[in-house]
Amino acid sequence: MGYTPHVLVIGGGVLGTGIARDLVIRGLDVTLVERGALTAGTTGQSYGILSSVAQFEPLGVDTKLVMRERTTLQEIADHCIENTGGLLVRHSDDSAEQFEQLQSRLDAAEVEYEHLDGEHAQDIEPALSSSVAEALRVPDVVVDPLRLTVANARSAHSYGARIRTHTEVTEIAVEDGTVGSVTVEHDPSPAGPRNRRHSDSGRQSSDSVRSDGGTPGRSSSGGPGRGSGQSNKSVPGAGKPQFRQPEQPSVEEIDADYIINATGPWAREVAALAGFEVDVTLVAETVLTAYGNPLETVVRRWMPDKEHLTASTTAVSRGETVLLGSTRREISTPEEASAFPDEVERIRNVVTPLVPAVEETRILRADCGVRSYPDVETEDGCLLVDHGEVDACWGMTTVIGGSLTTHRHVAERVADDVCAKFGIRRECQTDEIPTHDSEVPHQDSDRQSQSGDEYPVVCECQSVSRGAVRGALADEPSTDADLDEVRIRTSAGMGHCQGGRCAHRLAAELYPDYDAATTNDALDAFVEGRWEGQRPALGGEHLRQAMQTYVVSAVTMNRTTPDVSLVPSKTDEVREAVDDEERTTSKNTVGLAGFDDGQQQRGRDSPPWGERPI
C-alpha cells in the first residue's frame, strides 16, 4: 500500500465542498475547514441560476463547457434543481439596438433561444407587463445553492472526508520553500468566528457573566451561567438534568501534505497568511428576498449599461418568495460588502416595469454577497495559482473565481492537479456519482406537543417540523448548538416573519441538552443574523410590523441588551439619535437609527418603537 496524501481544503462554499468531494472520492485523505457554517460566505446570497450562458459576463468562458456542466449538475443533483426556463426581456423604454447586440452575442456563443414578441412572452409568463416589447426564451435552470453545498459536503463526508465548520485558519507556516503546518482555531459556540462581527460595536459579549451567574440582560431563573453543568429548575420526571457540555474553543495544528485555498472573496487574506500575494477582483452583489411569488420562470431585463438586474423564482421550495437582484459594485475587501436602502429602490425600479406585481410584494430582506474574479480571462472563469510556480514555495494552490454552474469542473481541475503532483492516476467520478440528498431525516422526538403530535410544526412559514429541526441538529456534518446550521438544512426562519415567531422554538430544541446560557447564545446569534438582512429593506408599514415583532421579542422574552433602551420612536431624543452619525453606525442592534437611516428622506413613517443607544 502506498502513502495516501492528506489534503487540507480551506473554504466551505460550493467550490470548497466540491473540491473536497472530488479528492476524497479519488481516495485521498481530505480535511475541509470553514470558519463559519457551510455556505456562510457568498452562496447564501445567490439567486442560484444555472447559467444558460445568456448572462455570462466573462467573454472568455467556454460556452459549451458551461452548458455541459449545467447538464451534469441536473443529473447528479436533481433534488436541488428546478427547470423553470427563462426570459430575457426588453422593456419598451430600453434600447432595441442593445437587444440586437445581445442576440448577436447569443448567436456567436451558439446558445439556443427563441425570439418572442411581447404578447407571446406574456403567454409564457402572465406576470409580465404589457410594456414588454420583445423577449428571448432561453433554457435557464435554477438551483438552491444552500442545498447543493450541503449535498456536496454530505457526499464528501460519506467517503471519509472530515468536514470541520466553525474552524478558522489563523496561521500557515512556511519553511525552506515549503508550506508546513496550518494553525486553526475551532470555536463552535454561537459567538464564534462567524458572529464576531456582531460584538464589535459595543455590545457586551455573550461570555460575560453577571455577579448572580446569569448573562447580561436576562433573568437567571432559567439556568445558571455558562459552564455550570446544572439547571436551577428540574424537568418533570427527570430530576435535575446533566447538561451536555458544548465543545470548548481549541487551537491545533494540522499537518497536511497539500493545501487548497478555496475561500473565494477571502482568498487574498488566506494566501497572505503564508506570505503570498494574489490578485482578486471583488464585486458586491445585493439580492432582495420578497414575500409573494408572482413568477413561473426566470425573468431578466437586459440593461443598456450592462448591469443585469434579475427577477427569478426561488430555486427550490422555500415558501412563497421571489428573489430580486442584483446591484453590482466593485469593492476592495469583503468587509466592505453591505446592502444599502437605496439599492432596494434601485432594484425595484428596474424590475417593477417588467413585473408590476413586484410593487406590492413585501421585501423581507436585502443580502449582500461577494463574488471573486481572476484578473485574466479563462475558459471556465477560474484561475489556479500554484504557489510552487509563482512564489517558489511548494505545497499550496489558491483557487480564484469559478461559478455555481462550473464549480464541479473547477473541482475536477484542482483534483487533477493535486493528484498529478503526487503521481496519482485516478479518473474523476463526480460527473457520474450523484450527490447526497441534502434533505435532513426526521428524528424521533421524546417531547410531544399537547395534542400528542410527534412532529409539531416549529416554523409555520416554511412548514418545518420539530422532527426536521432535531434531524438537522443531529446531521453530519454540522456543528452542535448552531441554529444557522438548522436554517441552512431546513429553511426554518427564512419565511415572511424571518424567524420572528419561530426563533425561540428553534432554540428550545437545544434545551435541556444544553444549558440556558448556551441556548440563549444560540438564539442571540440566530436572531441577529435574521435582523441583519432586514434592516436595509424595511420602511413604512413593513417597518412598523418588524418593530412590533421586535418589541414582542424584547418585552415578552427579555431579549433587550445592556447598551440600548426601548423608547417611543416619535420622541425628539430618538430623532436626535438618528441624526447622530456616531450613534448610528452600529450594526449590532436592531435600532431605530439602523432602520430609519436613509428611509426618512423618502417620507416613510417611523415605527412606533425603537432602540435608543445608551
* Per-residue pLDDT tens over the stretch 493-530: 888 888 888 898 999 998 888 888 888 888 888 888 88
First to last CA, the chain: 66
Greater model confidence, 189 or 295: 295
The model's confidence at residue 607, banded by pLDDT at 50, 70 and 90, is low
The predicted pLDDT at position 236 comes to 41
The predicted pLDDT at position 72 comes to 94
The chain-wide mean pLDDT, for the chain, equals 77
The predicted pLDDT at position 572 comes to 58
Q: Look at residue 302 and tell me whether its pLDDT is greater than 90.
A: no
Q: For residue 520, what is the enclosing H or E element?
A: helix 516-534
The model's confidence at residue 211, banded by pLDDT at 50, 70 and 90, is very low
Q: Look at residue 129 and tell me whether its pLDDT is greater than 50.
A: yes
The model's confidence at residue 562, banded by pLDDT at 50, 70 and 90, is low
So what CATH class is 1-77+142-195+250-279+375-431?
A: alpha beta
> Got the DSSP string for 202-256?
SPPPTT---TTSS-TTS-GGG--STT--B-SSPBTTTBS-BPPPPPPPEEEEE--
The predicted pLDDT at position 525 comes to 86
The model's confidence at residue 540, banded by pLDDT at 50, 70 and 90, is low
Q: Look at residue 303 and tell me whether its pLDDT is greater than 60.
A: yes
What CATH number should be reported for the domain whose range is 86-138+281-373? 3.30.9.10
* Per-residue pLDDT tens over the stretch 160-170: 999 999 999 99
The predicted pLDDT at position 46 comes to 61
* Residue 601 three-state SS: helix
Going from N- to C-terminal start, the domains of the chain cover: 1-77+142-195+250-279+375-431, 86-138+281-373, 457-534, 539-613
Q: Look at residue 473 and tell me whether its pLDDT is greater than 80.
A: yes
The predicted pLDDT at position 591 comes to 44
Cell numbers for 608? 412606533
Q: What is the dihedral of CA 323, 326, 332, 334, to 10 degrees?
A: 0
